[in-house]
Structure 1
Amino acid sequence: MTTFDDREQAFEAKFAHDEEMQFNAQARCNKLLGLWAAEKMGKSGTQAEDYAKTVVTADIEEADHEDVVRKLTADLQGNVTSEEIRKKRAVLLPEAKAQVLSEAG
């Protein structure tokens, strides 16, 4: 194998790793958002964890996070606006990334 081939494989491996980390961070963010919403609904413990899982799985409908925003807006029944959910998600995403990175290292 040539040096070019080695570099190409290294770049491909790094890209795959970065994509996996991004996916994991998004899923973690959705879980944290789900736990936040569960608290707003008065859920705790196992109920909150189970609800957070439904939020994580809701994210597979579309490429962006709007499917999660719609789910939470509907589930919170007007107690929290879509904009508040988006702002909370923006706050939670860096925390989720930090958690995923600390677990990977």
Structure 2
Amino acid sequence: MSTFDQRENAFEAKFAHDEEMVFKADARANKKLGLWAAELLGKSGEAAEDYAKSVVVSDFEEAGHDDVIRKVVADLDSKSDESTIRAKRRECLAMAKEEIANEA
């Protein structure tokens, strides 16, 4: 195998790893957002976990995070506004990235 092939394989492996980390961070952030929203909805225990899972699953509807935001905005109705929810998701994403970095 040539040096070029080795470098190409290394770049591909790094890209795959980086994409996996992004996916994990997004999923973890969405779960954290879901648990936060569940608390606002008065859910706890298994009901809160189930709601958080539904938020994670909602991210698979379309590219980006607007599908998650739309779901949480609709579910929270007047309990929170869209800008607060977007800010909370950014906060959750930062926490998720830090947690994943500390696990490695």
TM class by shorter-chain length?
over 0.9
RMSD value over aligned CA atoms?
Answer: 0.8
Query: How far has the Cα of 1:26 moved from its partner?
Result: 0.3
Alignment of 1:72 with 2:88, yes or no, is: no
- The aligned residue for residue 12 of structure 2 is 12
1:1-105, aligned counterparts within 5 Å? 1-103=1-103, 105=104
The whole-number CA distance in structure 1 between the counterparts of 2:102 and 2:38 is 25
Partner amino acid for 1:90? R
* TM-score, normalised with respect to structure 1: 0.95
Structure 1: gaps of 5 or more residues: none
Query: How far has the Cα of 1:99 moved from its partner?
Result: 1.7
Q: Provide the secondary structure at the position in 1 that maps to 2:78.
A: coil
Partner amino acid for 2:52? A
Structure 2: gaps of 5 or more residues: none
Query: How far has the Cα of 1:29 moved from its partner?
Result: 0.2
String of CA shifts for 1:34-79, please: whole Å, max 9, x gaps. 0000000011111111100000000011111010111001111121
String of CA shifts for 1:5-31, please: whole Å, max 9, x gaps. 001000000000000000010000000
Partner amino acid for 2:78? G
